Amino acid sequence: MAERLDTPLEARRRWFHRRSKDPDRFGRLSEGVARFLGTPRFLIYLTIFCAVWMLWNTLAPVPLRFDSAALGFTALTLMLSLQASYSSPLILLAQNRQVNRDRVSAEQDRQRAERNLADTEYVARELAALRLALNDVATRDFVRSELRGLLEDIVEEREERIRDLERDLAGMQEDRAREQDHGQGP
């Protein structure tokens, strides 16, 4: 029976093909190593390691020495080169991951700034609309001045009415006085 070409073959599971449940685990590990390589603690550990290595291969009995000082500590040089050759790519990987995080953070900041700008513009438009609406609404000072004007008009009308009543009263008193003068007269 011919195999179908549109379906993949079943994957063979080998130890180097095992899929990690967390694909980002190596990246986090490399960042941890890179973070450790940049600490004073690492420099102190490396200095102590090199000093012990050189002291051992200089002061220990000849049969126990494993790296010759006469040859310039070749094994130590090789080990330090190996450490440097592994730490450089790990540091670069950690830097690339940081650049990706910074890019995502910058994109989120840009989106947040756009939302803030849109919100600010909306609030400015609403504030302008409120200002326009308030031009049509009577303010407290306007109402007070209108009431003051009405009160002054009422006071003037009252005073004029009082004057009219006083004139009428004066006229009535004069009429009464004339009637009394005519009634007592001839």
pLDDT digits over 58-113, tens only? Answer: 998 989 988 888 888 999 999 999 999 988 888 888 888 889 999 999 999 999 99
- Residue 12 pLDDT > 60: no
pLDDT of residue 184: 67
Band (pLDDT 50/70/90 cuts) for residue 150 is very high
Q: Are 78 and 68 in contact (CB under 8 A)?
A: no
Quick one: which H or E segment has residue 82? helix 74-136
Instruction: Say how far apart CA 15 and CA 27 lie, in whole Å.
Output: 20
Q: What is the DSSP letter of 22?
A: -
pLDDT of residue 19: 59
Across the range 49-65, mean pLDDT stands at: 92
pTM here is: 0.47
pLDDT of residue 26: 83
pLDDT digit string, tens, across residues 33-48: 888 888 899 999 999 9
Instruction: Say how far apart CA 122 and CA 111 lie, in whole Å.
Output: 16
pLDDT of residue 106: 94
Burial label, 43 (beta-carbon count in 10 A; 0-12, 13-18, 19+): exposed
| Terminal C-alpha separation, the chain | 159
Tell me the HSE value of 2 on the side-chain side, using a 13 A CA sphere: 3
Q: What percent of the chain has pLDDT over 90?
A: 43
Q: Are 53 and 76 in contact (CB under 8 A)?
A: yes
- Residue whose structure tokens are 């550990």: 45
Band (pLDDT 50/70/90 cuts) for residue 18 is low
Instruction: Say how far apart CA 113 and CA 110 lie, in whole Å.
Output: 5
Show the tokens assigned to 134: 């308030």
pLDDT of residue 185: 54
